[in-house]
Amino acid sequence: MYRRKSVLVLLIVAIITTVCLSFMRDIKFDYDLKKFFPVNSEETDFFLAHSDKYEWDDDFILLGLYNEAGIFQQDFLQKIDSLTKNLKRMDAIESVLSPTSVNILRKTPFSAGIITSPYITIDKPEKYAADSAKIYRQPELVNRLFATDGKSVAMLIRQSPGLSVEFCDTLSQEIDVLADSYGFDQIHYAGKCFSQTAYVNLVRHEVGVFVGASVVMIIFFLWISYRKLWSVWMPLLVIIITVVWTIGTMAWMNEPINFISNIIPTILMIIGISNVIHLFTKYRILIREGQEKMNALRTAVKEVGFATIFTSLTTMLSFLTLTTSDVVPLGKLGIYAALGLLFAFILTYSLFPAMLILYKPAHSLAPEKLKEFWQPFLFRSYKWVLGHPKYIINGALLITFISILGTTQLQINNHLIEDLKSLDPTRIATGFFEEKFSGTRQYELAIKLKDANKSIFDRDVLLELDQLQTYMGETFSSNGWFSPVSLIKASNRIDHGGNDKYYTIPESQRKIDKFKKEIKKTLEKSSFPKVYTANEQEARFTGQIPDIGSYVARRKNKELHSYIADNLSTDLLEFQVTGSVHLNDLNGYNVTFNVLNGLLFCLAFVMILIGYMFRSIPMALITLVPNVLPLLMIAGLMGYMDVDIKIPTAIIFIMAFGIAVDDSIHFLSKFKIELNKGKKVSEAIRNTYLTTGKAIIVTSLILSGGFLTLALSTFTSTFYIGFFTSLCLVFAVLADLVLLPVLISKFYKDN
């Protein structure tokens, strides 16, 4: 009967797996930062409305060129000019602002219209010195198109808005091939299309790397622990099918993999093996004691299954708390990770027992073949732990104090280029633009008039905005602002023959109105971004600033609002910082507190669970200590290492807690079983330590080793997830096998 049921289980699993594999062929990879904007947010709604009036603030490509011999070399400038013209011919390119296309605009008493002449006369090298001097007197050109090192230039390419991932991939390849054909010394790219293409390709690659490395790690630890081939391939098959079911479900639901969800396969492989090992270890112990195979399996399922239900539930609950976040991809990470853990639980108690029943491995587990170092090792460890309670408790208190000091140094912060540095340095060199130019962090300030009878081009309004633009230039270290002020000041300079001292607001409203009419006629033909609305009631300041990070940006934005309140007419104008970068900054800040609330909820759930299991409030409090301490140690270590809290590093805590608490539950569940058998507390601790200790150590080694494979990632954030989660699990197993037994023996008394 059992064999027939086992065959049926294998058949059902095979059918479901085949269907999921067919869906997996259609899995997609996605990189769309708009999906990371918070939902049901006034800030998001405002930015979307703002973008409809102007354009998406990330629809641009920065192309940086470096020439060792210097900018003002005729062959270099000829290449730039040719590249500019060829780029303008591409269908998805709307405009190109380059060193050879930017012109001096001026009027003379002898001309009715505007005379244009290039800043650089390419075919007259003898004028290069004068051209250079003229260019480096223009604040709107320096650090935007021309670097101060005299060897680097930049091109600002505006692409068509709303390009798909596939079109972006095609466009970036076309630009790359075209630029490569000129043989520049160095070429550097930044912007959504190139970053998106590089991210997607890297995510595809890293999913394979993580899964492969995790499989190797799991095989290694299983072999070291059990030394039987069937003891390796059976657990491995369970977790591989778990991953297939989960990714197949994602593909069926048309859910793409992004640079957060790409860790789901690794998470499931690592966590999923834990349930199998606890069941398998108990099964082997019972076989060693001489039980018949079916009895051993039933007893193992009964004793370990109860604990596994709660460990799976707590881990799933930890991931599901991510759904409280307003960031949709983060919530979906929680949903599919929890779903995968449910699949892992189902397969552990269906597929794995079915394979054990059909395979007949019991003969290889004869008592004489089970001589291993685990029992002597665990016995020595147990004696040491119970022999040094004061040292252990005092050491825990010292570690807690040091960790708390470290946590005071943590900051909620996010740098755009931190992960971009990981991409191909010869192509996606965001650091190049940070070092040579004004930066790549897009800054958007929305401006709105409060008086419907006023215009953004009224002189009193422009003077207010000019004062603000000067302050922003000093505060954010950027002179390259696209704004109505820049338009009017440039028009005034043109009207005075290109004389730089007239780059100011005109003295009369009549002049401003005249310039406004000229601006409206020429703006559509230029590469100048749209900076005001047709009704002249709203405007924007937009430009690139250095990647100062979200922590400094929050402080500077507060200073900006204070400056506006103290120095500008708030009865005339209202201001709001917006933009895709600003929204991502808010995400990091909000998600951190979502994770903190989720963590507190999980802690409360575990305390209630243990308190109910033992009918003891002291035991609930005891359980809290070895599960909070590893998180505190990780937080302190991150503080000492200057690792910032952001979306990826914030989820380390909720994920690590959900996994680390499993060992405590397994330990306490076995301890409760021993107490129910009539054992005293000291004897119950000893039996629990010697029987559950191996499974806890083996699973923790596999878990920490598996997460450490994420440290192979070229994404800094993924590296941190792997490194710190792995460390947290090591700290957790030490807390469970060193601190927890001491706390139980000290504070939990026999009934």
What is the number of other CB atoms lying within 10 angstroms of the CB of residue 289? 10
Q: Which CATH number does 1-30+228-371 carry? A: 1.20.1640.10
Q: Which CATH class is domain 53-197?
A: alpha beta
pLDDT at 629 over 60: yes
Which tens digit of pLDDT belongs to each residue from 352-382? 888 888 876 554 544 444 445 567 878 888 8
State how far the Cα of 473 lies from the Cα of 707, in Å rounded to an integer: 44
Encoding tokens for residue 251?
A: 């593909």
Inter-CA distances, 599 with 83, 330, 585, 657, 734, Å? 54, 15, 22, 8, 21
Radius of gyration of the chain (CA): 32
Mean pLDDT of the chain: 81
Spell 295-323 as b/e; 16+ CB within 10 A means b.
ebbebbbebbbbbbebbbbbbbbbbbbbb
Instruction: Evaluate if residue 427 carries a pLDDT over 50.
Output: no
| Position with higher pLDDT, 216 vs 343 | 343
* pLDDT tier for residue 623 given thresholds of 50, 70 and 90: confident
The whole-angstrom separation of Cα 532 and Cα 534 is 7
Question: Average pLDDT in the 218-223 region?
Answer: 79
Per-residue pLDDT of 476-508, as tens digits, reads: 877 678 888 888 888 888 777 767 788 889 888
Confidence (pLDDT) at 367: 44
Domain ranges for the chain:
1-30+228-371, 53-197, 374-408+580-751, 435-579
Average pLDDT over residues 416-436: 60
Residue 111 has pLDDT above 50, yes or no: no
Tokens of 683: 């004897």
- 1-30+228-371 matches 374-408+580-751 in fold: yes
The yes-or-no verdict on residue 733 having pLDDT over 80 is yes
**pLDDT (mean) for 99-106:** 72
Residues 725, 648: Cα–Cα separation, whole Å: 11
Q: Would you state the pLDDT for residue 436?
A: 80
DSSP structural state of residue 361: -
How much is the pLDDT for 19? 93
pLDDT at 273 > cutoff 90: no
**Per-residue pLDDT tens over the stretch 136-189:** 877 778 888 888 888 999 888 888 877 776 787 788 888 888 999 999 998 888
Contact 459, 509 (CB under 8 A): yes
Tell me if 530 sits within 8 A of 55, measured CB to CB: yes
Q: Where are the alpha helices (DSSP H) in 227-292?
A: 230-252, 264-288
The alpha carbon of 518 is separated from its chain's Cα centroid by a whole number of angstroms, namely: 46
Neighbours of 127 (CB within 10 A): 14
- Rounded to an integer, the average pLDDT of 730-751 is 84
Residue 326 predicted with pLDDT over 90? no
- CA distance linking residue 269 with residue 241, whole number of Å: 9
Residue 17 has pLDDT above 80, yes or no: yes
pLDDT tens digits, one per residue of 328-340: 888 888 899 899 9
CATH class of 374-408+580-751: mainly alpha
In degrees and rounded to multiples of 5, residue 3 shows phi and psi of: -70, -40
Strand ranges for 91-185 from DSSP E: 93-97, 103-106, 115-118, 152-159
Closest by CA to 208, choosing from 262, 254, 272, 271, is 262
